Amino acid sequence: MEHPENDSQYTGLTVNNGVAQPPIVNPYLVKKRRKALPTASELVEGILKGDVTMLSRAVTMVESLAHDHYAIAQEVIEKCLPYSGNSRRIGITGVPGAGKSTSIDVFGLHVLRDGGKLAVLAIDPSSERTKGSILGDKTRMEKLAVHPNAFIRPSPSAGSLGGVARKTRETIVLCEAAGYNNIFVETVGVGQSETAVHSMVDFFLLLQIAGAGDELQGIKRGIMEMADAIVINKADGDNVGPAQLAQAQYRSALHLFPPTASGWKPEVLTYSAYYEKGIAEIWEMIDRYFAFVKENGYFEEKRKEQARWWMYESIDEQLRKHFYDNPVIEKRLQICENEVLHNRMSSFAAAADVLKVYFNQNNL
Ligand code: GDP
């Protein structure tokens, strides 16, 4: 049947000829070519020469979630490992506002006065929220940021604390292979990330400030126990007295702690990062620490223990990932979780059920 629209008498809606569609892609736009991935050997060669661009690219691959990047990164790390280890790894922690950025800036310049190179890395578990911008942000360390021998890298942003920490640990290897003989690892002193940092540094420095009420409140005992030194910042102006009082309080608190495995007695010093007072004393103490632990063998012992710890940590992390990333397991978990929540299955039976599916799937 003829369509009514074709009738000249038709008065209803008609379809007009449309206009030609413009092309979706602007033909004048020059297509940007993606930079080809460097090979592991190219990266290693660059890193060993101290090439900062190659180092940065390798670190980006360590942090990447892409499979091909991961494989290259692991090869680079393995090849850099024999050239790593020759550094002082120092963990620096303190609550926001304690003056970490200001301090790292002046500490950094102090260590660089004698030559050498410094890498400032960070572990910030909250960076998933803030896209890694709080820590390691270059603008916070103005002088170091423009120093030719300083390499500043913000916290890896994606993933669990364990994953973020592992990436930082791997980055240390790359930086050392590139000749960075001073490594600072920064954390916000509020959570569990301190334990992760402790497992990758030789010396752990806790930054504190006075005048925040009862000095020993609000600081986790665990963090204090890990500290090889507590340094009280902002000992300037009217704050000198309170800083000294806090120093006395920390000293007596530390007496109550069990002796450290290293045999080193943690020290408490005051300083002012802003006015650059007391910095040399802190560094003189850190020098003494390194001389002490190298002499009594603890330095080597701790590094070996850390390597062992990371081996197991890495196994744990990869097993968990393999398990939880599995879509069948994901579904099964949901079902079992629901059963547990409705009291139809015990937690243990549910766990056994999910694990059985996993083991069967992997022929275990
Ligand atoms: P972060 O959050 O721990 O990194 O702390 P910042 O380094 O950003 O410092 C927090 C604030 O404390 C800034 O306003 C600094 O200028 C100030 N500050 C840092 N060090 C000192 C110091 O030695 N004395 C005084 N009076 N203020 C300081």
Could you tell me which residue, 162 or 300, shows the higher pLDDT?
A: 300
What is the overall mean pLDDT for the chain? 87
Overall fold of domain 35-83:
1.20.5
> Binning pLDDT at 50, 70 and 90, where does residue 188 land?
confident
Q: What is the mean pLDDT of residues 18-41?
A: 75
Whether 138 has a pLDDT exceeding 60, the answer reads no
Give how far Cα 321 sits from Cα of 155, 209, 326, 364, Å.
21, 40, 8, 17
Cα–Cα distance for residue pair 75/79, rounded to 1 Å: 6
Say if CB 90 and CB 185 are below 8 A apart. Answer: yes
Name every protein residue with a CB atom under 6 angstroms from any ligand 1 atom: 94, 96-102, 233-234, 236, 272-274
Whether 137 has a pLDDT exceeding 60, the answer reads no
CA of 160 from ligand 1 middle (Å) equals 29
> Binning pLDDT at 50, 70 and 90, where does residue 131 land?
very low
Q: Strands of 88-94's sheet, edge to edge?
A: 150-152, 118-123, 182-188, 88-94, 203-209, 229-233, 267-270
Give how far Cα 358 sits from Cα of 194, 244, 314, 316, 338, Å.
33, 58, 20, 16, 18
CB burial of 113-149 (b: ≥16 within 10 Å; e: otherwise) equals eeeebbbbbbbbbbbbeeebebbbbeebbeebeebeb
> Binning pLDDT at 50, 70 and 90, where does residue 21 land?
confident
Could you tell me which residue, 135 or 209, shows the higher pLDDT?
A: 209
CA of 101 from ligand 1 middle (Å) equals 7
Domain locations in the chain? 35-83, 84-296, 312-361
* Ligand 1 atom nearest residue 104's Cα: 7
Substitution candidate for ligand 1 out of 92, 100, 102, 107 with most atoms within 8 A of CB: 102
Write out the H or E segment, with its range, that includes residue 344. none
> Binning pLDDT at 50, 70 and 90, where does residue 6 land?
low
Taking CA atoms only, the protein residue closest to ligand 1 atom 12 is 99
Say if CB 361 and CB 332 are below 8 A apart. Answer: no
Q: Report the predicted TM-score, pTM, of the whole model to 2 decimal places.
A: 0.83
Whether 190 has a pLDDT exceeding 70, the answer reads no
One-letter amino acid for residue 222 of the chain: G
* Ligand 1 atom nearest residue 233's Cα: 23
Residue with tokens 């799937």: 361
What are the start-end ranges of the H helices in the chain? 40-48, 52-63, 67-80, 100-112, 127-130, 142-145, 161-177, 193-198, 221-226, 240-255, 279-295, 298-324, 327-341, 347-361
DSSP assignment, residue 147?
-
> Binning pLDDT at 50, 70 and 90, where does residue 213 land?
very low
Taking CA atoms only, the protein residue closest to ligand 1 atom 24 is 234
Whether 217 has a pLDDT exceeding 70, the answer reads no
Whether 160 has a pLDDT exceeding 70, the answer reads yes
Substitution candidate for ligand 1 out of 93, 205, 274 with most atoms within 8 A of CB: 274
Cα–Cα distance for residue pair 122/184, rounded to 1 Å: 8
CATH superfamily placement of domain 84-296: P-loop containing nucleotide triphosphate hydrolases (3.40.50.300)
Lowest mean pLDDT among 20-34, 90-104, 190-204: 20-34
CA of 225 from ligand 1 middle (Å) equals 24
